[in-house]
Chains A and B, each alone.
Chain A
Amino acid sequence: MHEEMVSIDIGSTYTKGALFIRTEEGLRFLRKSITPTTQEDLSQGFGTVYTQLTGLPHEGLSARRMDKRGTKETPRIRFSSSAKGGLRIAAVGLVPDLTLQIARLAAWSAGGKIVADSSYKLRSEQVTTILGASPDILLFTGGTDGGNEETVLWNARQLASSPFQGTILYAGNAAIRGEVLRILEGKRVVVAPNVMPRVGEIRIEETRQAIQRIFLDTIVEGKGLKQVQEFCRTEPVPTPAAVFDLVEAIGTHQKGWDRFCVIDLGGATTDVYSVGEAFWGEEGVVLKGIREPRVKRTVEGDLGIRVSAATLWDTVRPFFPFFIKCIWNDAISGGEVIQELQGSMETKSIVLSEAPTEEEIHRYVEKVTMDTSYLPDSEREKRIDRFLVLSAVTIATLRHAGVLEETYTPAGRIFLQSGKDLRPVKTIIGSGGYLSLFDLGEPLRLLFRKVSKGEHESRKKEDDASLLDLRCSTSTRIPLVPTNPVYYRDASYMFPLLGNYAKEYPKEVSKLAIEALVPESNTVLHQEVG
């Protein structure tokens, strides 16, 4: 057995591809290719990458290619598409902590991002907000099976009379599914089993699949994707869903990889994936609310280092002294930056340089927001980028993680846990852009240690709102971020490409994924085969 496999990811900026070979011994990486994404006709960039990888012509990606291949075996192809930065999903639920939260988890795990949400009864203002966010999919949940009908039917009527044009995915109370469908007649509606059939029971797999199906049917239209699809004789998956599949495969098939996180930071969003039990049943800890899934993804649409730099800065600013202290000064003593800057003539003066003021960072943020393809042109700017990256990762992890609240009861001290416990996470894998390039283990451990001790107080009392946003308001609330993770880099940014095959060859693909990781130490593992 000797099979060549092509994997291509059509991102918003670059179209990337890799050629793998699968033998009895497993999967091997052969070569990769990258080209700018051709926005007006995605099939062009796709074809370029395909030809570079295989040496085979793509000829306008005609489906007839299959007949022209002659004696040479045409490799299998899988591809993913980031779909203009992700599927836009509006989540409608009943109780915020129950069905709405589960709807969010389902949307995230399918590779979507939440652009609007609503709980309890939909009022015209909420409908307006949802319409304004122009979601592709409205995930409509609420009620357990046989549970609440009144609010769910009310919401169905509100949606029916709204001008919403996208797809409504109904995954609420199954007992009234027929009635809901009748009310929504004339709308594009897809159904899935209830995301919460019983109180506290999470069922999101079918909803996740349904979201991906909708992604295929309604979003992958035009711009040449149809052609790519015919050429490959396969359907695309949303890029984050491919990564999700890979993360799940690693957590299932690779020994020692039962508790880890993957963080993918880009210009617009920060995605966090985690694998591991949400609740460990420790003595003295009681879980409140739903038990979150073992494999979880969240996406922060307001945390990125270019398109979303301004909203990131809004969140970071109240904590500026804390972040600058951790990231600027401590990183120097940690030696990490020195290493990063080696080879530069300016090393000494940079390392000893003054920390930037708020205004300096503010100006930089304005600059990169204006020009989102901007690359730093000095060492100082590089370090400001690094500051933005590390604060985005910290905040995204805090939001992904749950929290422990210390409470005294007649039976003594106990802790109430809500959300997912990431403390036992052994490894953090940085993927995408900056995180693939730089070793961030030391500063991240420091940041997590500080926030878990509640040392990130903001300067003013008025900032309490954003403090809550960080899910840590006082010393008795402990964010459940990883306590002592090691950092690995997906240095060749292979995760989306491997993810495309994660459903078919979970073992092989996950093995190659972790073999290709670059560990923290100075000894860099060279896994790439030329």
Chain B
Amino acid sequence: MSSSGNTSKGKIVLGVIGYDCHSVGNKILEVFFNEKGFQVINLGVMVSQDEFIDAAIETAADAILVSSLYGHGLIDCQGFRDRCVERGIEDIILYVGGNLVVGKTPFSEVEEKFKRMGFDRVFPPDVDLEEVARLLEQDIHARRNGKH
């Protein structure tokens, strides 16, 4: 394949899923990942699964980063990976982070649930973004090498 799109550390689609309108964190993520050298396609707030996938297809993105802060993440993210498979981007990297569920569920359980749903990595709200960027770069690198 041609080298286009490989000039950055990777192309990522960003957005807040469902009917969640928390926009501040979303803007911070956009600025942060841009500065880290990723090419960011930010869809903003209240993004549906299909909108994430539409954007990822048109841009040939490496990863989709889903945020959810209002506690309904589990329902909103249900079937996300399956939908990616159905729509032909089965190997895309899927990350999810934020206040994913309501209540005091231990994070390990939350992580387990989302991983079973096909997310590659799951992050709590207090995650160190530097760490996320590092993992993301590593995962994108692996995906590209694995693919070609």
Are B58 and A410 closer than 8 Å at their CB atoms?
no
B80 interface residue per 8 A CB criterion: no
A409→B57 CA distance, assembly (Å): 28
A175 contact set on B, CB distance < 8 A: 2, 4-5
Are B59 and A148 closer than 8 Å at their CB atoms?
yes
Are A144 and B46 closer than 8 Å at their CB atoms?
no
A245→B58 CA distance, assembly (Å): 31
A196→B59 CA distance, assembly (Å): 10
Stretch from A93-101, A235-243, A483-491 at the B interface: A93-101
Question: What are 9 inter-chain pairs, A to B, with CB distance below 8 A?
Answer: A99-B58, A142-B58, A146-B60, A147-B59, A149-B4, A175-B2, A199-B43, A199-B55, A411-B70
A284→B41 CA distance, assembly (Å): 24
Q: Which residues of A contact B (CB under 8 A)?
A: 94-95, 97-99, 120, 142-144, 146-151, 175-176, 179, 196, 198-199, 286, 288-289, 407, 409-411, 414, 416
Residue from A95, A149, A286, A410 within 8 A of B72 (CB atoms): A410
Nearest residue in B to A286 (C-beta to C-beta)? B46
Are A288 and B60 closer than 8 Å at their CB atoms?
no
Given A95-B54, A176-B2, list of 7 further CB < 8 A pairs? A95-B58, A142-B58, A146-B39, A148-B59, A196-B58, A407-B19, A410-B19
Are B60 and A198 closer than 8 Å at their CB atoms?
no
B58 contact set on A, CB distance < 8 A: 94-95, 98-99, 142-144, 147-148, 196, 199
B41 contact set on A, CB distance < 8 A: 144, 198-199
- With A94-B57, A99-B58: A147-B5 Cβ-Cβ less than 8 Å: yes
Which residues 1-43 of B sit at the A interface, judged by CB distance below 8 A? 1-2, 4-5, 11, 19, 21, 39, 41, 43
Q: How many pairs of A and B residues are in contact by the CB < 8 Å rule?
A: 69
Q: Which residues of B contact A (CB under 8 A)?
A: 1-2, 4-5, 11, 19, 21, 39, 41, 43, 46, 48, 51, 54-55, 57-61, 70-72, 88
- With A95-B57, A148-B57, A149-B60: A120-B88 Cβ-Cβ less than 8 Å: yes
Interface of chain B, main secondary structure: loop
Are A150 and B60 closer than 8 Å at their CB atoms?
yes
Are B4 and A176 closer than 8 Å at their CB atoms?
yes
B59 contact set on A, CB distance < 8 A: 143-144, 146-148, 199
A416→B54 CA distance, assembly (Å): 18
Nearest residue in B to A121 (C-beta to C-beta)? B88
* Chain B nearest CB, measured from A286 CB (Å): 5
A151→B54 CA distance, assembly (Å): 13
B55 contact set on A, CB distance < 8 A: 98, 199
* Chain B nearest CB, measured from A62 CB (Å): 52
Residue from B48, B57, B70 within 8 A of A410 (CB atoms): B70
* Chain A nearest CB, measured from B148 CB (Å): 12
B46 contact set on A, CB distance < 8 A: 286, 416
Nearest residue in A to B5 (C-beta to C-beta)? A146
* Chain A nearest CB, measured from B144 CB (Å): 13
Report, nearest first, the 6 A-B pairs whose CB atoms are least far apart: A409-B19, A175-B4, A147-B59, A148-B60, A95-B54, A146-B4
A97 contact set on B, CB distance < 8 A: 54
Nearest residue in B to A97 (C-beta to C-beta)? B54
A142→B58 CA distance, assembly (Å): 7
Are A288 and B2 closer than 8 Å at their CB atoms?
no
A28→B59 CA distance, assembly (Å): 51
* Chain A nearest CB, measured from B90 CB (Å): 13
- With A95-B54, A199-B43, A288-B48: A411-B4 Cβ-Cβ less than 8 Å: no
